[in-house]
Amino acid sequence: MEKRAFVTGLTGQDGAYLARLLVDKGYEVTGLVARRATDSMERLRRLDLMDRVKMVEGDLMDTSSLIRALKNSGAREVYNLAAQSFVATSWEQPILTGEVTGLGVVRLLEAIRIVDPAIRFYQASTSELYGLIQEPVQSETTPFYPRSPYGVAKLYGHWITINYRESFDIHASTGILFNHESPLRGEEFVTRKITLALANIKHGKQDTLYLGNLDSKRDWGYAGDYVQGMWLMLQQEKPDDYVLATGETHTIREFVEVAAEVAGFDIAWEGEGEQTRGVDRKSGKPIVQVDPQFYRPAEVDVLIGDPSKARKQLGWEPEIKFADLAEMMMKADLDWVAGGN
């Protein structure tokens, strides 16, 4: 097969890591880039990709831009990573989230039908589909119960992908990916918010890290491992649906503790609920504080995935787990802030 790929969401966390993986494998990568007033190329620069990928302007809201971009790319593989991806924002902008994260998927599938139905397709599905979990450990067969407009929009994207596979015989796969993080994670997501704030506090640029619910639990892996799974799905003879996860779950509190230790703090928790504070035992300063503005209208309390199907069928294994991930992100942000960012 010709090694040409089309990636939406190129400028996002996963887009950057996937583009690097594909370029290293000898692919010609064309990335869809939405027009923005501010610069969104930071991740591509950090991975030294600016001259190694082609960029084409377009938007998941605009089907004609997708058809044109896909046709010109000559791609044999399409990875749909673009989305309004932040759960909290999905309550503020539920309709935009539905348009981009939900209907955007069928716009791209329609572009494939028009340009060439033999193009292979990857849809970025999510563990947020499980929401109010129906089984203690979630696998491909666990029923969905999304808990946010984001989760509901992704549910549409998930099923429309399966529907196009069954209706039009498109080689379309979904990856039900549990949370995956990295030094390039968006700064609004809790892991990166924590490591960036702790680095700023360490360097005297910030006093306090404000967080919402400290007790929810997530199955956090490393984005660099997860993009490998995306690629493997499109190399299979048959399209399918796969969970990518580490099989471990940890609280936000634990992530704070591990990252803080790497940064040289020693956190002791005081108080309860909205009064909870994290005090650095070494300096006696309260550096973490709960702020209810970060609570969500409906919470996903706990997620833990079973990646055994991906392990068996794809040979996929996550290399980096919780403590190493927190350490990697914390060290990267200490360097990032020390470098003047």
Q: Is 130 considered catalytic here? A: no
> What amino acid occupies position 199?
A
Do 128 and 154 form a contact (C-beta atoms < 8 A)? yes
Strands 221-222 and 180-181: parallel
Closest of 130, 82, 122, 86 to residue 229, by C-alpha = 122
Geometric angle at alpha carbon 35, from 33 and 40, rounded to 5°: 65
Residues 6+ apart with CB under 8 A from 25: 3, 231
Residues 295-314 that bind ligand GDP (CB under 6 A): 296, 299-300
Is residue 189 a contact point for ligand GDP (CB under 6 A)?
yes
Contact between 212 and ligand GDP per CB under 6 A: yes
Q: Which of 16, 18, 190, 334 binds ligand GDP (CB under 6 A)?
A: 190
Tell me which of ligand NAP, ligand GDP, none is bound by residue 280, counting a contact when its beta carbon lies within the kind-specific cut-off of 5 to 8 angstroms. Answer: none
Give the whole-angstrom CA distance, residue 252 versus residue 167.
41
230 lies in the binding site for ligand NAP (CB under 6 A): no
In the complex, minimum distance from the CB of residue 34 to ligand NAP, in angstroms, rounded to a whole number = 4
Q: For residues 137-162, b (16+ Cβ closer than 10 Å) or e, as one string?
A: bbbbebebebbbbbbbbbbbbbebbb
In sequence order, what are the beta bridge partners of 121? Answer: 78, 172
Residues in the chain: 341
Q: Which residue, judged by CB position, is nearest to ligand NAP in the bound state?
A: 12
Shortest Cβ distance from residue 269 to ligand NAP (Å)? Answer: 26
Tell me, yes or no, if 126 is annotated catalytic.
Answer: yes
Residues 316 and 33: their CA atoms lie apart, in Å, by 29
Within 72-111, the residues that bind ligand GDP by CB under 6 A are 87-88
Other beta carbons within 10 angstroms of residue 278's beta carbon come to 24
Token pair belonging to 334: 């200490």
Residue 182 burial (C-beta neighbours within 10 Å; 0-12, 13-18, 19+) = buried
* Cα(328)–Cα(246) distance, integer angstroms: 16
Residue 60 as a binder of ligand NAP (CB under 6 A): the answer is yes
Binding residue for ligand GDP, selected from 193, 202, 250, 253, defined by CB under 6 A:
193
Encoded one letter per residue, x for contact with ligand NAP by CB under 6 A and - for no contact, window 12-41 reads: xxxx----------------x-x-x---x-
Question: Which C-beta is closer to ligand NAP: that of 126 or that of 195?
Answer: 126
| Per CB under 6 A, 126 contacts ligand NAP | yes
Among ligand GDP, ligand NAP, none, residue 213 binds (CB under 5-8 Å by kind) = ligand GDP
Among 89, 163, 208, 216, binds ligand GDP (CB under 6 A): 216
Query: Which among ligand GDP, ligand NAP, none contacts residue 112 (Cβ within 5 to 8 A by kind)?
Result: none
218 binds, among ligand GDP, ligand NAP, none (CB under 5 to 8 A by kind): ligand GDP
**Total binding residues for ligand GDP by CB under 6 A?**
18
> Which of 17, 150, 164, 226 does the annotation list as catalytic?
150
Token pair in block for residue 322: 């919780």
Task: Name the residue among 248, 194, 191 with its Cα closest to residue 219.
Answer: 248
Residue 87 or residue 100: which is nearer to ligand GDP going by CB?
87
Would you call 11 a catalytic residue per the annotation? no
Nearest to 209 by CA among 274, 315, 289: 289
Q: Which stretches of the chain bind ligand GDP, using CB under 6 A? A: 87-88, 128, 179, 188-190, 193, 211-213, 216, 218, 252, 294, 296, 299-300
Q: Which stretches of the chain bind ligand NAP, using CB under 6 A? A: 8-15, 32, 34, 36, 40, 59-61, 81-85, 100, 124, 126, 177, 179-180, 186
Q: Which residues are known to be catalytic?
A: 126, 128, 150
